Structure 1
């Protein structure tokens, strides 16, 4: 499961949603226990979060990982219910556990005997040279099927595999429902439509616009869109909820570049009038400040002079 990049908060929706839920649960635990020691409550919140039913995978995360529900208290243990009801203290529990540990193993139960079935096929008559009919009977003996021994470890492994497979199928079903809902609520884009893509704050400078305009170049079978802008084709594919369709067709395919692939930040920097993301300055000092070709080129290219230069130094150049 991909949660996105650390510098791109828009792609970390699942992580941020989980953090909000954990924060709310931790606040409730602190209020119920009248304490401020939140580090102690993290263990209880973690267990409650992992053992709760999840509608996406249709089971708890604990069951999807370990193949069985979380064990809470003696009611979910292997002890019989009539033994649990008779327990009055911890000494009674220790006595029951010690008794089961020291008791002899129960005798092996032999499987019921399987009777051999003899099939009596109809007699086959043969004619000899003397005209006498001879009868031949063929007896077929069926052997009992072999019973493979099953260990608790193999049963647990089968349960884990089954639970994980069902959880994966439930996630795929949830994704299909999300796609259907998106298609119902949003108009589908076509190849050649003009779109505007929101630019994250980490990818744009202070003087850059909030959106960048592009054209839809391709749509795959999963409704993922390939978008091209003036500087090239944007790396990665976009879903319908990541851009807006333009009312008017302002760009054509002649206005975009399709011979190279660029990132969104690179595309914004090339179309920016203020240098793009980041405001750094020159680190040169002294009487010969900014006299090398490197710093002079940076000063010349920057519209703001030394206020938007790449961090550099003339020493050693």
Structure 2
């Protein structure tokens, strides 16, 4: 997303923020960018994927930085990665990241006001950390816990004790370190039967049984083959605490999602009762496709009404053709009392398919063709609308 220029040095000025979010855990990353080029975006995504692993699905908008060849080359590095791009002129298809962007902007402003700072690039890291460590209303836990299976340790009593005593040398650490070490050793002995690497009780605890280590390494490598019977036993040894956190988050996530989906469907069905075939409705024209003096809605007629997943979907026509996409009742503006005469008298059989973008441009005063520009850079022919 674009923001105001932040000049951190005479040679560096940041003007953009690349925001990434994990859809399930809501864990976020944010990077300041000097420009919105495909190379810069691809470099940040590449570093992110090699650090945390690639996602199964990469969902983005239709910006040039996400449709260039540099981005598609990530597919060669991660063959299982699936690219999905949202509908043009429809930010609702990226609702998760759009809401997160709004929250990030508000949080940046509050942090800068509280800390008397004018550099949003400097505030980006602490603000993102704060968002990742606060409770999510969807999963009922923090994104940090869902991602790593534990709470952040920066606010623990141990670190506060070190800060209060001004400890800077390891030899001056307070006594709780020894107690913590004893507790860790006790936990290690209790979980000795479940750990992948065992310690020999007859030798020092710091010396690893090399024979056992090599056997476990061989077992892990063989577990990748389908015929190995030990693969199931190795996969069962995942951290139990992390599994519990993710299960709680999953249950809360699905409960919230199903509740919102039901409310959404009920509201759409209630609105759909007001619209039938041959009714005149208006579809909002995106601000990119019109000027501030052009009409805000494209008049259309309903020619079909179908049901899919308990939601009513409508097929529309306008004076320029049959709109290719289907629409929900929530996207309509009631124009029953303001339907244009040329739309009432139109012959449907003579109409050809047309996109909503082309129809919107034709309905605007400044366009003559309705065709959209597909230029990757500056228009070379100077004929794009």
**The TM-score by the shorter chain falls in which range?**
0.5 to 0.7
Check conservation: 1:268, 1:276, Cα contact below 8 A: no
Separation of aligned partners in 2, 1:235 and 1:64: 41
Per the TM alignment, residue 156 of structure 1 is displaced from its structure 2 partner at its CA by 2.5
Which residue in the other structure is 1:310 paired with?
383
Larger Rg: 1 or 2?
A: 1
Aligned residue among 264, 270, 276 for 2:356: 264
Change (3 A) 1:259 1:235: same
Relative to its length, the structure with more strand (as a share) is 2
TM-score (norm 1): 0.57
Query: Helix, strand or coil for the counterpart of 1:20?
Result: helix
Query: Helix, strand or coil for the counterpart of 2:239?
Result: helix
Change (3 A) 1:270 1:37: closer
Structure 1, unpaired ranges of 5+? 111-147, 281-294, 296-308, 312-317
Output the aligned Cα RMSD: 4.6
Separation of aligned partners in 2, 1:57 and 1:104: 29
Which residue in the other structure is 2:368 paired with?
275
Per the TM alignment, residue 44 of structure 1 is displaced from its structure 2 partner at its CA by 1.9
Number of residue pairs aligned between Structure 1 and Structure 2: 241
Aligned residue among 218, 241, 265 for 2:305: 218
Separation of aligned partners in 2, 1:14 and 1:211: 26
Which residue in the other structure is 1:19 paired with?
101
Alignment of 1:77-226 (within 5 A): 89=165, 91-92=173-174, 93-100=176-183, 106=189, 151=237, 153-154=239-240, 156-157=242-243, 159-181=245-267, 188-204=274-290, 209-216=295-302, 217-220=304-307, 221-226=310-315
Separation of aligned partners in 2, 1:239 and 1:194: 14
Change (3 A) 1:154 1:105: closer
Deviations 1:270-315 (A, max 9, x none): 55664156999xxxxxxxxxxxxxx9xxxxxxxxxxxxx726xxxx
Query: Helix, strand or coil for the counterpart of 1:53?
Result: coil
Separation of aligned partners in 2, 1:107 and 1:10: 52
Query: Helix, strand or coil for the counterpart of 1:223?
Result: strand
Check conservation: 1:62, 1:68, Cα contact below 8 A: yes
Separation of aligned partners in 2, 1:226 and 1:257: 14
Alignment of 1:227-266 (within 5 A): 227-248=316-337, 251=343, 255-256=347-348, 260-266=352-358
Per the TM alignment, residue 195 of structure 1 is displaced from its structure 2 partner at its CA by 0.7
Change (3 A) 1:18 1:85: closer
Change (3 A) 1:180 1:26: same
Change (3 A) 1:154 1:96: closer
| Structure showing greater relative contact order (alpha-carbon pairs closer than 8 Å, 6 or more residues apart) | 1
Between 224-233 and 41-50, report the one with greater CA deviation: 224-233
Separation of aligned partners in 1, 2:62 and 2:349: 26
The answer to whether 1:8 aligns with 2:81 is no
Change (3 A) 1:105 1:168: closer
